[in-house]
Copies of this chain bind each other. A is one copy, B any other.
């Protein structure tokens, strides 16, 4: 039989749009002779709805959406993810895959309910206890959802892996409806995990993931069909909607050892994820246009580039806000980028406002010397200007902080930390350089001078980032061990990093937790992003 893998981009709570998309895709798949159309986890509601699930109208909308799909796709067998009430004891809902066909409705619910910090399913969903099989088109299918396929030995809630149990019913193939948040390590890990299941049971496996970004969480798609010999017969693209029809006969008798999946390199993945992340934020929020404060440095250049990729040059404007401490090349590099990308730019020197604040504050400051106050003042005046442009014209301000800065607090709260969305806040500075070189791989888009000059905040004369921070390659090495790998300072020092630098870096990270808890959502591309995970109490002594 033919099965359609339907990889779509859903908006949480936008039932009309989600249902329309599901129906149109089902009709199209039927035209291509699909005998079953499979959608991703919680497709009807969008993943992950969090506390939207508490509201009775939200759940009523889910039920109504299923009714509409059942009616409009009466003659098309569809299997679609949807939250439904739990009729039994425990949490109020179940995370379901619903089979709809000619008035039949069969419900399969998720067993392995996760409580990872990105999507706290356990707060809402009861785990399914039973095991049943979907029979469709003469085949018996083991229906699994998301982590049902994951190794669950560390989970107190589950005694056995669901698929192991389902095998007792002798399925012909395994289906998995998923919604798996992206990070740059996921495509490879996911492929390996799924392949293990295939090889263990020698059954074909059809995996359908959602695509698209919901605020900070990005979903990469990458749905695929494994033949029973463990090779990938069909791979859907990353970061875009797609429907592909799989012929199950092929999966049982796969004739080549080829994998029809190419996992892109890390920088390609991050690049494409960020473009999708920005684009979906604007589209799902109903925003049209963006504004960026362009300094001539690397970070704001990258963010402007991503804004242009996501919403088009005609919808992006940038503001140059030089001060007395700005170098000539800052302005010329910024102008070069704006011209290259074709975005409108305005220049607003900050000196008049800066002088005005200093005059007004002078009676209070009583002749105290220039310090971080005046540095922050410049950054905050820029924030006010950008937000004024944003308010006046409806352009959403994009934040330009990178992960290294966010980690050590090298940014001004309510200044350069302003913005509705943090585009590269999960990208270390050393990765930002890689990303810029990736963007420039065919032609100079970001001025090479921007990439090659020493980074500086330009908030005091001749300032360099390296005046107050370790060199970025060392800093990022330490941060990666501390943030992503949760190593203690002692463990990091034992790896060969300088003890004083490690201790100083870790102190900066912990002292600046308060700043990270007041920033915009950060597009998540790493296995451990600020905001999305890594919950550290602000008052904790670390």
Cβ–Cβ contact A539 & B12, under 8 A: yes
A120 with B115: CB separation less than 8 A: yes
Give complex CA distance A10, B320 in Å. 48
Q: Are A514 and B13 in contact (CB under 8 A)?
A: no
Interface residues of A in 367-419 (CB under 8 A from B): 368, 371-373, 376-377, 380-381, 383-385, 387-389, 391-392, 413-414, 418
How many copies of this chain does one complex carry? 2
Total interface residues in chain A, CB < 8 Å: 94
- A342 at interface by CB-CB < 8 Å: no
Chain B residues with CB below 8 A from A138, complex form: none
Q: Is the CB of A154 within 8 A of B361?
A: no
In the complex with contacts A120-B115, A414-B383, A49-B489 CB distance below 8 A:
no
B357 lies within 8 A of A89 (CB)? no
- Please tell me if the beta carbons of A154 and B91 are within 8 angstroms of each other in the complex: yes
B contact residues around A385 at 8 Å (CB): 357, 360-361
B368–A537 CB distance below 8 A: no
Asked whether any CB of chain B lies closer than 8 Å to the CB of A68, the reply is no
- CA A127 – CA B155 in complex, angstroms? 11
Alpha-carbon distance between A14 and B539 when the two chains are bound, in angstroms: 10
In the complex, A356 has a CB within 8 A of chain B: yes
Residue of A49, A156, A487, A490 ringed by the most chain B CB atoms within 10 A: A156
Binding site for B on A (CB under 8 A): 11-14, 46, 48-52, 54-58, 89-91, 115-117, 120, 122-123, 126-127, 153-157, 214-215, 280-281, 284-285, 346, 348-350, 352-353, 355-357, 359-361, 363-365, 368, 371-373, 376-377, 380-381, 383-385, 387-389, 391-392, 413-414, 418, 420, 486-491, 514, 517-521, 533-542
Given known contacts A91-B156, A372-B391, A387-B414, what 4 new A-B pairs fall within 8 Å (CB)?
A215-B539, A284-B539, A348-B360, A381-B384
Sample 20 A-B pairs with CB under 8 A, ordered by A number. Answer: A12-B537, A12-B541, A46-B540, A51-B486, A55-B488, A58-B488, A116-B123, A214-B537, A214-B539, A215-B538, A285-B514, A346-B363, A348-B364, A353-B357, A357-B388, A361-B385, A364-B389, A376-B391, A380-B388, A384-B384
